Amino acid sequence: MTKYFERILYGGDYNPEQWPQDVWQEDMRIFKNAAINSATINVFAWSKLQPSENEYDFSELDAIVAMLEKEHYDIILATSTAAIPAWLFKKYPEVARTTYEGLHNKFASRHNFCPNSLIYQKYAKALTEKIVARYASNKHVKCWHINNEYNGICYCDNCEKAFRVWLKEKYQILDALNEAWYMDFWSHRIYDWDEIVVPNARAEGVHKTNPYFAGISLDYQRFNSDSLLNLFKMERDIVRASGSKAPITTNLMGTYKGLDYFKWAKEMDIVSWDSYPAYDTPWYEVAMSHDLMRGLKDQSFMLMEQTPSQQNYQQYNALKRPGQLRAQSYQTLAHGADSILYFQLRRSKGAAEKFHGAVIEHGGRDNTRVLREVSQIGQELRELGDGFVGASIQAEAGILFDWESYWGLEYTSGPTKDLYYVPQIKYYYKQFYERNVPVNFISTETDFSRYKVVVAPVFYMVKEGMKEKLEAYVKAGGILVTTFMSGLVDQSDNVHLGGYPGPLKDLAGIWVEEIDALAKDTQNQLQFSDGTKSSGRLLCDLIHLEGAESLADYTTDFYQGMPAITRNQFGKGSVYYLGTQLEEGGLGKVLQLIFDEVAIEPIIKEPSALEITKRVINEDAYFFLLNFTEEKVAVPKEFIGLTDLISNQPISSESKLAKYEVMIVKK
């Protein structure tokens, strides 16, 4: 457990450089009334900090820092390297990215830097050094925010050269690369490293989502994720060298595909992320993203951004309904956050985000609905104190989230166009969520022995060493649940020969001979051995038992009578294999069977429609009770007689939570 903050940080992105100074004073007054205690500054200010190549100007940032200091705000200090000034593009056009289509960008937008441009690196480094030298010793700087939402990909000539270097390092000899990329297919064998080109629209990436050579695109994803990560590390190391004790982060984006966040998290002190559910995002999905972000380091995280009201770039930017922001904020804390921060504190007057919600709206007034809610949350957090800051969540089950399988599964051509990685993960997570069974997101590198159950949905890419690792885990008593589209390929997207699911075959005690793809909205029927009927959709594996028992067989189609769901005893543990996407009831039945087998319990025994989580720190357990249903829900019996920490009221047998209401109870 690492406790980085002395209080729950409450504030958000603050961009006073967009405003005259008299507005700043008004901001300070309003923030204070709203119990805001921190501000994230300097996220996009490079062009003001460095008006030209040889000229830096910190006067405005100095003034902002001084003002925040005076009012005792905690500062989350960003490095401003996510948007490059125009003069830098003009003088060195190479700093801009080249798109997938091969267009070399001009001065534009943000996140437009080529990660492999030495010029970009040089100037980003210089700016970071200046910022760090100036502010690292400032006691109010409580956190470092490197760049902003690293994302995107570049296909320029510099990247092409850097890609070749990265590949040489990885494969050493060209034969290994030819083999990995399966280059005798369509006469692709290459004889010189310089023959390698970036997989963009003009080359092997021509089918962006299903390239002909997934192996090349996969390596390019890895390379791009590493390239951006190197930029993060460059800035991080400058901060570290200063001796600053403030934790270093960069704001991530949940299930964002482009970056292998498990790899990134290892380099970060604390994970932070930006949560932007749409008006129709189910609450379990919001919870899942928090759990994933917490899982990256198995440690509490920061919510770096959320909107207090609405966004501007969704299809329908609905306002948050009364109470919704408060519920969403507590849900974030309930899943492991140590901060509640908004984007942004004052709404921009112009450009892309003028219709994006903010704590202070265009009216500039403080008697607004949004500000009343923001203030209420702020006051409550202040009263709550720092009790659960740094507290962790303990789980006996893990869901494997594997960015490489995510990429591989979605690059590959066939067997169905309807298969996406994240919806699959969500489907299994929902089962845990609905039962209030805590679950951690884990990576292929996690020590599985900590978990009674490991669920590995569509674990497509099984790399070297994983077979042995999983076998040892199950042999020692672990339960592995895996599904169709698992164990199929190696790290280069080449199939593991000898029958599906490749390296998982012995473990699962089955052989999958063929994979049937079901058209949209169609399903096959199946029946459990106790007679219960169920159905499966999306894909149907045609399974032969090789030691496993069938839990359910198909009852329709030409493969009726063949197993669809199997269980195999392996050492002291067992492996469940789901050969099709079971409808929710059927999946629930299988998971319940497993939970009963190894005594996986929900947070509290009494079934409840509330969302309930538990954060633990030292001897203390904090229970978060949230109602996301339309009905009033009674507080479960085991909390009767205790006190709700938010209202300071005792909980009685009459206590109920209405929609969006929340309680926190300490035991």
* Contact of residue 338 among ligand GLA, Zn ion, none (CB under 5-8 Å per partner type): none
In the complex with Zn ion, which residue's Cβ is closer, 114 or 395?
114
d(CA 246, CA 433): 34
Residues tagged active-site: 149, 305
d(CA 307, CA 647): 25
Is 159 a residue that touches Zn ion (CB under 5 A)?
yes
User: Judged by CB under 5 A, which of 154, 288, 508, 610 binds Zn ion?
Assistant: 154
Which residues have C-beta within 8 Å of that of residue 166, sequence separation ≥ 6?
219, 223, 226
| C-alpha torsion sign, points 529, 530, 531, 535 | negative
Give, as ranges, the residues between 114 and 133 that touch Zn ion (CB under 5 A): 114, 116
In the complex with ligand GLA, which residue's Cβ is closer, 298 or 305?
305
Say whether 385 sits in a helix, a strand or coil: coil
In the complex with ligand GLA, which residue's Cβ is closer, 307 or 534?
307
Tokens standing for residue 367: 């008697």
In the complex with ligand GLA, which residue's Cβ is closer, 276 or 279?
276
| Strand order from edge to edge, sheet including 251-252 | 251-252, 272-274, 302-305
Secondary element (H or E) of residue 103: none
As measured in angstroms, the least distance from the Cβ of 99 to Zn ion is: 10
As measured in angstroms, the least distance from the Cβ of 401 to ligand GLA is: 21
Q: What are phi and psi of 267, to 5 degrees?
A: -90, -10
In the complex with ligand GLA, which residue's Cβ is closer, 345 or 526?
345
Tokens standing for residue 414: 């066939």
Q: Name the burial class of residue 245, with classes exposed (0-12), middle (13-18) and buried (19+) by CB atoms within 10 angstroms of its CB.
A: exposed
As measured in angstroms, the least distance from the Cβ of 82 to ligand GLA is: 8
Query: How big is the CA angle at 326 (ends 262 and 278), to the nearest 5 degrees?
Result: 60
Judged by CB under 5 A, the stretch of 157-165, 220-228, 413-421, 483-491 that binds Zn ion is 157-165
Sequence-ordered strand ranges (E) for 206-283: 248-249, 251-252, 272-274
Give, as ranges, the residues between 87 and 116 that touch Zn ion (CB under 5 A): 114, 116
Which residues have C-beta within 8 Å of that of residue 561, sequence separation ≥ 6?
553, 554, 555
With tokens 């992105």, the residue in question is 13
Is 28 a residue that touches Zn ion (CB under 5 A)?
no
In the complex with ligand GLA, which residue's Cβ is closer, 120 or 343?
343
* Contact of residue 628 among Zn ion, ligand GLA, none (CB under 5-8 Å per partner type): none
In the complex with ligand GLA, which residue's Cβ is closer, 162 or 303?
303
Is 174 a residue that touches Zn ion (CB under 5 A)?
no
Residue nearest to ligand GLA (CB): 274
As measured in angstroms, the least distance from the Cβ of 114 to Zn ion is: 3
Tokens standing for residue 279: 């008006």
As measured in angstroms, the least distance from the Cβ of 53 to ligand GLA is: 26
Tell which residue, 215, 341, 345, has the closest CA to residue 273: 341
Is 543 a residue that touches Zn ion (CB under 5 A)?
no
Secondary element (H or E) of residue 133: helix 118-135
As measured in angstroms, the least distance from the Cβ of 318 to ligand GLA is: 14
Secondary element (H or E) of residue 565: strand 563-570
Is 377 a residue that touches Zn ion (CB under 5 A)?
no
In angstroms, the first-to-last Cα distance of the chain is 19
Peptide bond into 415 cis (omega under 30): yes
* Contact of residue 159 among Zn ion, ligand GLA, none (CB under 5-8 Å per partner type): Zn ion
As measured in angstroms, the least distance from the Cβ of 368 to ligand GLA is: 19
Contact residues toward ligand GLA (CB under 6 A) are: 148-149, 274, 276, 305, 311, 343, 353, 356
d(CA 116, CA 109): 19
User: Judged by CB under 5 A, which of 35, 36, 88, 156 binds Zn ion?
Assistant: 156
- Enumerate binding residues for Zn ion (CB under 5 A): 114, 116, 154, 156, 158-159
